[in-house]
A and B are shown apart, each in its own frame.
Chain A
Amino acid sequence: EDKVVQSPLSLVVHEGDTVTLNCSYEVTNFRSLLWYKQEKKAPTFLFMLTSSGIEKKSGRLSSILDKKELFSILNITATQTGDSAVYLCAVEVRGNKLVFGAGTILRVKS
């Protein structure tokens, strides 16, 4: 059975802190790994990773994939209160479907 596990389940930090969110996976027919931010309802796309070792960066957010060890990390530097959200990791497998982890709840305190 395809499985995606995220850690930690929740995290409380202060503004300005750096956070690292983890995602490990065990799937057949891996196609890509995606990170989403879910604030109230719809997940919004952050990154798609397909190759090991290539960092994707967008502003204060960055992510990298290790296909040998089957994990990915999402880093957020200089956190702001607006970063408070649930961060979802999902793996795209054959059949164009996404297998999601349970998410990491991030709360950034001012």
Chain B
Amino acid sequence: EPEVTQTPSHQVTQMGQEVILRCVPISNHLYFYWYRQILGQKVEFLVSFYNNEISEKSEIFDDQFSVERPDGSNFTLKIRSTKLEDSAMYFCASSLTGSGNTIYFGEGSWLTVV
């Protein structure tokens, strides 16, 4: 079964450092997403990406965050200057059609900011 893969699975970083989380979506998918889940809280939407541009972003996705699809296969989330409150599980997801039943989630990247 095709899957969304994410790296790293776990990263510990110092506050203020830049972090890049990487994702390889399913190969024929066209819609890409980042969600995050702070420990003990809801899964929250960050951003959706289609046709090489952001199609929707949440209030959480401020200027400290950026996304890129640099080479047609990877989809990255960059956090420029991490804060303690950025500690969370970050899920990448991809979808063929943008419809909910075609969204596949990766296993997540657990980010700990110290």
> Are A and B bound to each other?
yes
One digit per residue, 1 when the CB lies within 8 angstroms of any chain B CB and 0 when it does not, for chain A 66-108 equals 0000000000000000000000101010011111111100000
A109 in the interface, Cβ–Cβ < 8 Å?
A: no
A interface, by DSSP: helix, strand, loop or mixed? strand
Cross-chain contact A99 with B91 (CB below 8 angstroms): no
Residues of chain A having any CB pair with chain B under 8 Å: 31-32, 34, 41-45, 48, 88, 90, 92, 95-103
Residues of A within 8 A of B43 (CB): 43, 88, 90, 98, 100
Cross-chain contact A96 with B108 (CB below 8 angstroms): no
Contact A41/B48 with A96-B31, A98-B103, A100-B42 known, Cβ cut-off 8 Å: no
Pick from B31, B91, B95: contact of A42, CB under 8 Å: B91
- Chain B interface extent, by class: 20 to 34
Residue of A nearest to B106 (CB): A42
Residues of chain B having any CB pair with chain A under 8 Å: 4, 31, 33, 35, 41-45, 48, 50, 55-56, 58, 89, 91, 95, 98-101, 103-108
Cross-chain contact B44 with A92 (CB below 8 angstroms): no
Least distance between B27 CB and chain A CB atoms (Å)? 18
In the complex, A102→B48 CA distance in Å? Answer: 21
Residues of A within 8 A of B89 (CB): 41
Cross-chain contact B55 with A95 (CB below 8 angstroms): yes
Closest 5 CB pairs of A and B: A95-B56, A48-B101, A92-B100, A100-B43, A42-B105
Least distance between A62 CB and chain B CB atoms (Å)? 16
Residues of B within 8 A of A48 (CB): 99-101
Least distance between B111 CB and chain A CB atoms (Å)? 13
